[in-house]
Amino acid sequence: MQALSIVELEQRFQAKVDAEIKIEPKDWMPDTYRHTLIRQISQHAHSEIVGMLPEGNWITRAPSLRRKLILLAKVQDEAGHGLYLYSAAETLGIDRETLVQELLSGKAKYSSIFNYPTLTWADIGAIGWLVDGAAIMNQVALCRCSYGLYARAMDRICKEESFHQRQGYEIMLVLAQGTPEQRQMAQDALNRWWWPSLMMFGPKDADSPHSQQSMKWKIKRVSNDELRQRFVDITVPQAEYLGLTVPDPELRLDTNTGRYHYGEIDWTEFKEIIKGNGPCNRQRMRTRQKAYTDGEWVREAAMAHSQKRALKMNPTQAT
């Protein structure tokens, strides 16, 4: 068979993508497609891992055993999601250690939302309801991503995330129907988490330089602004049911389109957090680095143990 030129290979690749045929690890793909996916999937994985920290903060202080068990299960799920995603990234030819080092050195990014602090128990409700809600909105679209492994990981994650959002809303519901202080706590959490949640969808379409190529490759299926709009449209009525006020004076329902108009996002705050200047950026990185360093002897010991056992079982294969 005659070797195909890069242009021909790229045309074949795009034709497959256009025909909705999933791309699998060993298939030919353009280098930029590979690198875009590695960046996106690993950022997503890092977000799941760092995302355990704000909620982990409340495991020991959950208000009841029921809430504690739920929160433990949720945080464990986030760890699992990180691992599905790291595995998916590894199929693109990058190893786990490199991915972890990129996070620890600050080279790789993770979602800006996890750099905000969790000040009260209501924050755990707001995170489940809003942050996981926004994540689901984004991830449902990614279930149709052209890269098979990413799509399959997303499929699994979406099924598991649904409980995350519902437990969060339930926390908000209990607080909103509680004492005036509890109600105020719920409102305060909504005030602090609303705008950062809208930022989770990324820059406006006009300011999102990679979006167009990602749409063509079907890595991205729905634009940032459209996903953000869908999130606002479904979330505002949920806030109304709670009897809480969304902290946006410009928010109003456009009766012609049936969609909500919302105010301008503070993109300066978003950019500062991406740069590392959010309220908890340094704390989050320190925690991850400490976990990695403290766990090093365990990883080494486990490996030494496994090799010792292998040797005992088959001494002739010692090399």
CB 104, min distance to other proteins, A: 15
Residue 86 has which token pair?
């790291």
Q: Which is nearer to other proteins, 277 or 306 (CB)?
A: 306
Nearer to other proteins, 254 or 297 (CB): 297
Distances from the Cα of 198 to the Cα of 83, 131, 145, 147, angstroms: 26, 9, 22, 26
From residue 16, give the alpha-carbon distance in Å to each of 34, 181, 231: 15, 57, 31
Residues 79-108 that bind other proteins (CB under 8 A): 80, 83-84, 87, 90, 95-97
**In angstroms, what is the minimal distance from the CB of 10 to other proteins?**
15
Shortest reach from residue 318's CB to other proteins, in Å = 4
- Tell me the closest approach of the beta carbon of residue 199 to other proteins, in angstroms: 30
- Residue whose pair of structure tokens reads 């990602």 in the numeric block: 214
Footprint of other proteins on 297-316 (CB under 8 A): 297, 299-300, 302-311, 315
Q: Which stretch binds other proteins (CB under 8 A): 121-129, 273-281, 284-292, 293-301?
A: 293-301
Q: Does 24 bind other proteins (CB under 8 A)?
A: yes
Number of neighbouring beta carbons within 10 Å of residue 112: 21
Report if residue 153 touches other proteins, rule: CB under 8 A. yes
Handedness of CA 173, 179, 183, 188 (dihedral sign): negative
The verdict on 162 binding other proteins (CB under 8 A) reads no
Decide: is 77 part of the binding site for other proteins (CB under 8 A). Answer: yes
Phi, psi for 166 (deg, rounded to 5): -65, -40
| From candidates 26, 93, 179, 254, binder to other proteins by CB under 8 A | 26
**Judged by CB, which is closer to other proteins: 153, or 285?**
153
- Give the nearer residue to other proteins in terms of CB position, either 28 or 267: 28
Q: Which is nearer to other proteins, 291 or 302 (CB)?
A: 302
Size of the site for other proteins (CB under 8 A): 35
Nearer to other proteins, 26 or 107 (CB): 26
**Closer by beta carbon to other proteins, 68 or else 152:** 152
The length of the chain in residues reads 319
CB of 249 to other proteins, least distance (A): 43
**Binding footprint of other proteins on the chain (CB under 8 A):** 1, 24, 26-28, 73, 76-77, 80, 83-84, 87, 90, 95-97, 153, 160, 296-297, 299-300, 302-311, 315, 318-319
